[in-house]
Amino acid sequence: MGLPPVGCAPHFLWEYMSSEFIRQHPDSMISYCDTFEGSVDILENRDRYGFVTTTDACCGLGKYGGLFYSLN
């Protein structure tokens, strides 16, 4: 499972960890779900997904009133 847009550090760590895992377990298979691209697509095309805004959240915490990646 990927992460929402939080910067490049998690990607580099995931890349390193997955290559180490494959090296240690050569017969294994890794499936990856890219939620980053999906998140960016929703943010950039909010009307297509039925959102009025992408800067207001409903839970009330963080900079944009959100609990997840809008905390800064």
One-letter amino acid for residue 69 of the chain: Y
Residues constituting the chain: 72
Whether the pLDDT of residue 6 is over 90: the answer is no
The span from the CA of 67 to the CA of 16, in Å, is: 28
pLDDT at 66 over 60: no
Alpha helices (runs of H) in the chain, residue ranges in sequence order: 9-24, 35-44
Position 4 in a domain = no
Residue 39, pLDDT > 90, answer no
- The answer as to whether 51 is a domain residue is no
What is the extent of the structural domain holding 27? 9-46
Is residue 70 one of the residues assigned to a domain?
no
Report the pLDDT value the prediction gives residue 37, as an integer from 0 to 100.
81
**Number of domain units in the chain:** 1
**Do residues 70 and 57 lie in contact, with contact meaning Cβ atoms separated by under 8 Å?**
yes
pLDDT, residue 72, reads 43
Could you tell me if residue 3 is inside a domain?
A: no
- Structural domain contains residue 59: no
Give me the mean pLDDT over the 24-44 stretch. Answer: 85
Res 21 pLDDT > 70: yes
